[in-house]
Every structure is written in C-alpha cells, then in structure tokens.
Chains A and B, each alone.
Chain A
Amino acid sequence: SQQGEEDPQALSIQEGENATMNCSYKTSINNLQWYRQNSGRGLVHLILIRSNEREKHSGRLRVTLDTSKKSSSLLITASRAADTASYFCATGSGGSNYKLTFGKGTLLTVNP
C-alpha cells in the first residue's frame, strides 16, 4: 500500500511561474523525502526533511512539513522548462530495515 499521496496528479505552468505540489501521508514518519524522475529514467533525490523540521530550502526548492496534518509541500520557484518531470514524495521508516514508501507522483510540465 502507498503511504504518500501527491496532489495534484498533473500540473502545467508557464516558465517563470512557481509550482507547488502537495503530499499527504497516513502514519508517523521519521522523515519525508522528495524525488524527481525524468521520463524513462531513474529517480533523483531532491531533499529530505526530518519529522522535527518544519521547513527546508535547497536552491529553488522549498519544502514544508506539517506533522499535525500529516502533509508536506514542495515549492519550485521560478520554474524552467528543464524542471519538467514527475515529482514523488516518499516517507521513511527508521531502523535497520529502512524502507521508503512512494506516492504516485505529480507530473509537472513547464511550458517555455
């Protein structure tokens, strides 16, 4: 079963606009991660936010985490055509048997 659910499923914007994607999850987590996948390729890790953090930045990326609402958001500012990809959130369970559970992803299209 999938822990994270991204919203919206698809998002189309113009270059220069900001893109916001949301993720909701169901159970307690140690951390939440966002990944990017270009069509037909492997996933690339973008950012990790721990359960005791509320906000994190990395370049044009801003991630927020609200553990009371069991939700996270990924904001990409000043989007570029090269940002076109699928974005996935993943929730991590701790311990030696560490596993990440992925949502279905948001397909972001940035039009030039």
Chain B
Amino acid sequence: SQTIHQWPATLVQPVGSPLSLECTVEGTSNPNLYWYRQAAGRGLQLLFYSVGIGQISSEVPQNLSASRPQDRQFILSSKKLLLSDSGFYLCAGTATGELFFGEGSRLTVL
C-alpha cells in the first residue's frame, strides 16, 4: 500500500528562522507529489506540486520553496519564516488520481 512519511510532526520556530519539512513515499514509483497548507477551520491550499525529480510548480507566491531531489522525496523549505507561515502542512502523493496523505506537520511561528 502507498504510504507517506512526513516529519517533523510539530515544529515551533521563531520569525526569521529557516524551515525544512520532509516527506518520503513508499509503495509506488514516480508519483505526483504535493504540498498543501491548511489554516485553522479552512480547506487545503495547494502550495507546490511535482510530476518528477527536479520538477516543481508553484501555485501561490510566497517565501516558501520546494524541492524533489529523489523520486520519492519531497522537501518544503524557507530561508526566513514569517508569522503568516504558521499552519498545518500536508504532503500528498498520487499515482492513480486518488491522493494519499501524510499525517501533517503543524508549524507555529512565534
């Protein structure tokens, strides 16, 4: 079965500090991968998606970036966090059209 491992689960960072969230995929090859952000009580906002190694598409302008150094590895980064970057980040993947999700990373920027 397809599984996404995502870490860290919880992160508290000061404004201006860097960020690295990582997810890895098991059970499928060459998946499309996605980073979503979910604000409290709201839906999911698509931040980035990738159809292959080194291929990243950004959906919204922001101070975050994404990278896919390996087929099953997807990383979300920032050089300097803003307060507005706080939220629940979800990594997701698909090889069939149905998304499978990681358990999420809750980021609090203080």
Contacts and interface: CB of A to CB of B under 8 A. Distances in A.
Contacts of A42: 4, 6, 90, 92, 101-104
B46 A98 contact: no
Contacts of B100: 45
Interface in B22-54: 32, 34, 36, 41-44, 46, 49, 51
B43 A98 contact: no
Given A41-B103, A42-B104, A97-B49, A102 B44 contact: yes
Interface in A33-92: 33, 35, 40-45, 48, 88, 90, 92
B43 A88 contact: yes
Contacts, number: 55
B99 to A, nearest CB: 6
Interface residues on B, range: 20 to 34
Contact of A88 (B44, B102, B103): B44
A20 to B, nearest CB: 19
Interface residues of A, number: 24
Interface string B40-72: 011110100101000001000000000000000
10 contacts: A33-B98, A42-B92, A42-B103, A97-B51, A98-B97, A99-B46, A99-B49, A101-B46, A104-B41, A104-B42
Interface of A: 2, 31, 33, 35, 40-45, 48, 88, 90, 92, 96-105
Interface of B: 4, 6, 32, 34, 36, 41-44, 46, 49, 51, 57, 88, 90, 92, 94, 97-104, 106
